[in-house]
Chains A and B, each alone.
Chain A
Amino acid sequence: MSDVEHRLTGADPAAALTYEHRDADAMVSRIIAQYPRRRTGLLRSFQLKVAGSATLAAALTVGGIAALNGAAPSFAVLAIGTAPHSGAAVPTNTKVGGMMAIFAQYHFSAGDSLSSTPATTPSYRLHFPRDGSAEAQRVAAVLGVNGVPVDVNGDGTDWAVTDGNGTSVNYETYGGVPQWYYSTNTPPTASTSSSDVAGGAVVSNQVLDADAHRYLQQFGYGFAVGDPQYSSSTVTTSDPTTTSNQATVSYGVFVGGVATDQSVTFTVDASNQLVDASGPAFSVAAGTDYPLISPTSGVDTLNAQQQRAFAQPNGDQSNSTTGTPTTVVAPSGTSATTPVTSAPGSSGSSGSNDTTTTIVTAPPIIDVTLNDTSVSLRSYAMTDGSVWMLPVYDYVGTFANADGTNETSTWSLMAVQPAYVDVSASTQPIAY
């Protein structure tokens, strides 16, 4: 371990701290008693929400399993397995009896500008290269890396092509959209021109953009990219001592004119040598017009999610011991309220048979007005192994903080009508 890494390890702010829960036995008993190990719709809904896929939970809790009455459906039901890029911004707060309220519950209202007309954005099934090894070698060759693909994990899902200089291209097909990554071990080069800015020349945006588009054209995936986003950084090496500017260009990936959850990035050094790059490997055919919900009806779904997130474990919508729904509404002009404790009952550490008398602390409820929405495409893996990009509404809303300042945030919701979506429990560990 180098000195630098020793310093990093030694700087651990928690190194000297120990931990013991105030009552671990009671915590375990409480968890086991309140959430029996059985498969229920509510449990599955909770799992999906905790997995960061609140958009999927919307489909499950609103429509459940797809079954159209009458005529046979025109569209095959989408059986979603995982959401590798769900990225839903809806907070997945939970409320367990006895827990301190440190999260917020939202109450959404539709602003005047929200539309009651569903969007018409298609859904797209993604197509991937059939031969991962061949694709890895092809992408590597485009990026100037020549070598033989190596099956990294021995299972045909991840390939690495490395040249004699240690520059490598990794092609990963693990869960969802395949990604390629380029990285080099070559030290960055610095320009020696006295007219350059400190750290050497910075490759112009024009050159960066042109080179990036050349690579994309050679990849041949066919998807479109949005406007370039430029950034730069200074990299300093100590042996030998050099300082070099690096320039980065990033693009959002678009399908059918709609922004997706994919992006492409290229980073070069002062000599315009590629340092780092990454992007997806997929193509699409014509889209499928799955019916969508309207933005305004989506607001109701967001509220329903919030109510379920803060419901009692036995399904009651109450947060008191009496079973009567109690809703804390922020006073006019404010958003946050003092957490409300329901009528005293037994403490959260009581026995396993006393779920109806557990004290529950309600979080402050924050009123949010959703003023704007846009549509984007998010990638979802289906249970049959296919991956689709489905339309998602990205709502923008504002709310007032207790100190009078306003805050803007975003919340996302899958826009495909619930009747066309069949959601399975996530099979991945909890992840983004």
Chain B
Amino acid sequence: MGSSHDDRFRRLVREHSPEVANYLRRRLYPLTAADLDDLVEETMLVVWRRLDDVPVDAERPWIIGVARNVLRNARRGQNRRRAFEASLAPSPNDPSAEEYVIADTSVREALRALNDDDREILMLNAWDGLEAGELAITLAITPNAAAVRLSRARTRFRDAFTNVEIS
């Protein structure tokens, strides 16, 4: 039994680490390669400890739900570390701003006009590839609520985008 758990965990790490990493990279900046590895490891640590709770047919949204919590804690820590390291010289290994800037200015400004909840569910759908049923698992809400909120977010984004383009 232990071996099958270990094997399943190894498979989850292999299959979902890239998705977790991209989820984190889209939302946390700056993020060195070492920091990213550590956040992925923290996410997978929780997956290991909750392995029996990971739904077989919804592994990806469940694991991204874990990453969301890891991200929240990382943001708190990052704010304080940023202040602490403000006087330090930038490392040549730090990612360049261009790697993380949303190049499409209209999209960027439209996203900025949304509230946090709208922005998050929109990004989870458009960039992390989660559909309504999967969003429900990640956000711990019903599929219907996820569909309703996604629909609202899309509407508000379209309106904000149009507003940006006009101006």
Contact = CB atoms under 8 A, between A and B. Distances in A.
Chain A bound to chain B: yes
Interface of A: 2, 4-5, 7-15, 17-22, 24, 27-28, 31-32, 35, 37, 43, 46-47, 50-52, 91-94, 96, 99-100, 102-104, 152-153, 157-158, 160, 168, 170, 172, 174-175, 181, 183, 234-238, 276, 335-336, 363-364, 366, 401-403, 405, 407, 427-432
A172 B38 contact: no
Given A9-B126, A27-B13, A31-B41, A431 B26 contact: no
B142 A172 contact: yes
B158 interface: yes
A104 B144 CA distance: 38
B46 A50 contact: yes
B38 to A, nearest CB: 5
A19 B23 CA distance: 11
Nearest to A405: B83
B112 interface: no
B111 to A, nearest CB: 8
A52 B84 contact: no
A102 B77 contact: yes
Contacts of B156: 235
Interface size on B, as a range, is: 35 or more
A181 B145 contact: yes
7 contacts: A12-B127, A14-B127, A28-B44, A153-B143, A181-B145, A234-B163, A236-B162
- Identify which of A2, A47, A92, A102 gathers the most chain B CB atoms within 10 Å of its CB: A102
Interface string B85-110: 01000000000000111111011100
A13 B100 contact: yes
Interface in B110-167: 122, 126-127, 137-145, 148, 152, 154, 156-163, 166
Interface string B51-73: 10100000000100110110001
A31 B45 contact: yes
Contacts of A175: 140
A19 B18 contact: yes
A65 to B, nearest CB: 21
Nearest to B10: A28
Given A4-B157, A403-B83, A430-B46, A170 B148 contact: yes
Given A4-B158, A17-B25, 14 more contacts: A4-B162, A10-B104, A12-B127, A14-B25, A15-B127, A19-B40, A21-B17, A21-B37, A24-B13, A104-B81, A172-B141, A181-B145, A237-B162, A428-B140
Which 7 pairs across A and B sit closest by C-beta, in order of nearness?
A431-B140, A19-B21, A103-B77, A336-B84, A11-B107, A14-B22, A402-B84
Interface in B1-23: 2, 5-6, 9-10, 13-14, 17-18, 21-22
A431 B69 contact: yes
Nearest to B115: A233
A35 B26 contact: no
Contacts of B45: 31, 35, 94, 96
Contacts of B9: 28, 31-32
Nearest to A22: B37
